[in-house]
A = this chain, B = another copy of it.
Amino acid sequence: MRRLIRINMGAENPEVREEPIGKYERYGGRGLTSAILSSEVDPLCHPLGEDNKFVIAPGLLSGSASAMSGRISVGCKSPLTGGIKEANAGGQPSQVLGRLGIGAIVLEGKPKKGDLYKIEIGRSGVKVIKDNSLKMLTNYELVDKLKKEYGEKIAVISIGPAGEMRLSAASVACTDMELRPTRHCGRGGVGAVMGSKGVKAIIIDDSDTKHLEPKDSEAFKDANKRFVSGLQKHPVTGQGLPAYGTNILTNIINEVGAYPTYNFKEGQFAGARKISGEVQAQFEKDRGGNPTHGCHRGCVIRCSGIYHDKDGHYLTKQPEYETVWSLGGNCAIDDIDKIAMMDFLCDTIGLDTIEVGVAISVAMEAGILKWGDADGSIRLLNEIKEGTYLGRIIGNGAEYTGKAFGVDRVPVVKGQGFPAYDPRGSQGIGVTYATSPMGADHTAGYAIATNVLKCGGFVDPLKPEGQIELSRNLQIATAFIDSTGMCLFIAFALLDQQDTFQAFLDLLNSFYGWNMTVDDALEYGKDVLKMEREFNVRAGFTSHKDRLPKFFYKEALPPHNKVFMFEDEELDKVFNW
């Protein structure tokens, strides 16, 4: 049975308690972070106070030999939204924690003094060590230092300066296969909460760990084989993503007119092609980088990549579509090298690229920077690192930045900045932005799949018909997938190929000795969403928070000149199941 590691960071010498997972047994990943928060945290506590908890949970299949099972969830009450938050990332930590039999790490309390700690986790146990020499190191500097101390057989979960400053756009970094801090639990200011617990880094020792044994090894192996071949035969997971990464979307979303630019004033960006995945992949090939790469062992989709600068030196991992949009297209920036530099800066400072990019575009709307000013944006990111006052404004996200400069066109739901898809150009993703308990979040119910990519059928992006049901079903399925440790990108194949969905369930069933059906999986997803929504209700959220900002209902978006079309009553039906 998996175990929980609870660490009271409020004690003079932080206390470690290990206990069986107990009543949380059926949960992993997002399901587990949300179950623990829902059951143990006062929804009215201050997000940065001693009563909040910071939960890190590998998924149900993390630690097994299953392909794609490397996602890790972190959860807490969010300083950005004021509600429950789960953010997940790839990289190595999830599988290593899984192999160590750890269901979740729960950071509780808050250090009385301003000391900084690191936590060592390995087969020999858990140690919490005060180490103020780590203060204000960037993620890359930190990992370099830890490598010297611990060698290369580690995985690291860490925060950069943004998390230490408890900024609401601070992320939690996870190291990848090359031991670089490139995979981020980005959204909702989770890094600020880890920072408030005084924890700079969790160093997980990879040595002598083995895959966990499934209950039924043969069935598991067979399921994994069917699962992998299903992923490989689907055009998105087998071709598009491996070849170009997520940034294949720039041209696609721009062509359908759902690419927000100039802070959601237009739906197509003239410079899109210059920052597209096709151009990016070519640069990666030409300069000795790598456009086809996995972010964790066992990944067969390999949408990740490695981006080199003009001189052929490593600059950053391949920037994701949403990053290229937020720090690029939405700010009218079309220089892919500078965007890659910003991706590196966000990774090393420990920032959510989406939130910070949307904040910068709001600052541009306020006239703080000119549209398209890439060097100015880079300067702003460095100001966040330095903790200047302007840096702290931008580093607290889009809504905060809007308030600093009196801007009333601020694309947020529940305080969280919009991702890279305009809800007027894809009505379905707008329903997800409005209603997800996480705030505006594309991954929470990725309607783009069906509105644009025609996975799982087709629902016309410019019409309201079918979008409520689409978003509902995707949100339910996502809440389940996010609990398993599986990369969400398996969903493209799952939506279109029933046998791949079955193979996925067979992985879980053979691993745990369960008999989960598709219906059970959907009930599981509903259960997770229900816990999350109830937490938010107890935090004072009402249906009024399940709305887009007014200007999306009033300003028509070129080129289709549509507004967001949903009455309040329709949005309130998303969770009527």
Contacts and interface: CB of A to CB of B under 8 A. Distances in A.
Interface of A: 42, 44-49, 51, 79, 110, 165-168, 192, 195-196, 388-390, 392-393, 396, 400, 403-408, 410, 538-542, 544-545, 547, 549-551
A550 B110 CA distance: 15
Contacts of A168: 403
A541 B541 CA distance: 8
A547 B42 CA distance: 13
Interface centre among A46, A404, A538 (most CB of B within 10 A): A404
Contacts of A46: 408, 410, 549-551
B404 A396 contact: yes
A162 to B, nearest CB: 11
A540 B545 contact: yes
B51 A550 contact: yes
A392 B404 contact: yes
A406 B48 contact: yes
B195 A550 contact: no
Contacts of A389: 388-390, 392-393, 404
Contact of A393 (B165, B404, B549): B404
Nearest to A49: B408
6 contacts: A46-B550, A46-B551, A48-B407, A48-B408, A392-B404, A396-B404
Contact of A544 (B390, B410, B538): B538
A365 to B, nearest CB: 13
B45 A550 contact: yes
Given A168-B403, A392-B404, 18 more contacts: A44-B544, A44-B550, A46-B408, A46-B410, A48-B406, A49-B550, A51-B550, A192-B406, A195-B406, A196-B406, A196-B408, A389-B390, A389-B392, A389-B404, A396-B403, A400-B403, A538-B544, A539-B544
Given A389-B404, A406-B195, A540 B550 contact: no
A542 B538 CA distance: 10
A318 B195 CA distance: 44
Contacts of A540: 541-542, 544-545
Nearest first, the 3 A-B pairs at minimum CB distance are: A166-B406, A540-B544, A389-B389
Contacts of A110: 408
